[in-house]
Amino acid sequence: MKTALVVGASGLIGNLLTIKLLESNFYEKTKIIVRKPLDITHPKLEQIIVNFDNLEESNIIADDIFCCLGSTMRQAGSKENFYKVDFTYPLNIAKIGLKNGAKQFLIVTAMGADEKSFFYYNRVKGEIEKALSDLRYPTLIIFRPSMLSGERKEKRLGEKIGKVFMEFFDALIPDKYKIIEGSKVAQAMLELAQKGIKNKDIFESGSLQKY
């Protein structure tokens, strides 16, 4: 039986994924690394309180690592803080996990991720994809969802406005760009982690709509 580790379990996808992992028979244990305890209890769950700026290597031990960390420029407050959350933390965790024997790293980035993008958000997402690829994990699976729907703990005004616009024009929008439920991304992560995918694979938003 395997152990899963979730990074970003307090966010929309991370929280949904954690619940799905706990309900799955594929994983014997699910670990989450968080800044402060979450209001979740389960016999298979281990909550590990960490300082992301000073990670203990002994805390990052699992067969499969699911990274759902992500911020916005508004939340982060600066480009430096955004880069830390969306690039530095995921990369550090991936490096430690690989050193400790992890076989799979699954990460949520974003539609439009491109290290050469003019847009800072998309560029950082592309840069983390490239850096993770360079680590040469046995399995690296990248998920690029479009705008997400679901209940978040924090409110994102821009996202709310975007959802209203996209829902109004839903019939005219190609599947790749349509709003996607966070639960579908979480389900895709759970199912694809069990497929035995080798090397690297990328799943765009349109392909995640079926989950």
pLDDT in tens, 136-194: 999 999 999 998 886 555 555 455 545 554 454 455 555 667 789 999 999 999 999 99
Identify the three-state secondary structure at position 190: helix
pLDDT band at 211 (very low <50, low <70, confident <90, very high): very high
pTM: 0.89
Scan for tokens 């994924």, then name that residue: 17
Measured distance CA(60)–CA(111) in Å, rounded: 27
DSSP-assigned beta bridge partners for residue 32? 6, 47
Task: State mean pLDDT over 36-65.
Answer: 96
Scan for tokens 């997400």, then name that residue: 148
Q: What is the CATH number of domain 2-208?
A: 3.40.50.720
Contact 138, 169 (CB under 8 A): no
pLDDT band at 76 (very low <50, low <70, confident <90, very high): confident
Measured distance CA(143)–CA(116) in Å, rounded: 18
Question: What's the pLDDT tens digit per position in 193-202?
Answer: 999 999 999 9
Q: How many helices (H) and strands (E) does the chain have?
A: 8, 9
Q: What mean pLDDT value characterizes the chain?
A: 90
CA angle at residue 9 from 53 to 193, to 5 degrees? Answer: 110
What's at 36, amino acid-wise? K
DSSP state of 108: E
